[in-house]
Amino acid sequence: MRGLAGKAAIVTGASRGIGLGIAQRLVKEGARVCLTARKPEALEEAVAALGGPDHAIAVAGKADDPEHREDAVRRTVEAFGSLDLLVNNAGINPVYGPLVDLDLAAARKVVEVNALGALAWVQAAHRAWMGEHGGAVVNVSSVSGVKPAPMIAMYGASKAMMISLTEALAVELGPGVRVNAVAPAVVKTAFATPLYEGREAEVAAAYPLERLGEPEDIGSAVAFLLSDDASWVTGQTVVLDGGVTLTGGV
Query: What are the catalytic residues?
Result: 155
**What is the torsional sign of CA 129, 130, 133, 139?**
positive
Give me the torsion for CA of 187, 224, 207, 194, rounded to 10°.
10
Alpha-carbon distance of 19 to 1, in angstroms, equals: 19
Alpha-carbon distance of 146 to 58, in angstroms, equals: 32
Q: Which of 177, 118, 176, 174 lies closest to 145 in space, CA to CA?
A: 118
Amino acid identity for residue 15 in this structure: S
Cα of first residue to Cα of last residue in the chain, in angstroms, is 30
Give me the torsion for CA of 74, 77, 83, 86, rounded to 10°.
-40
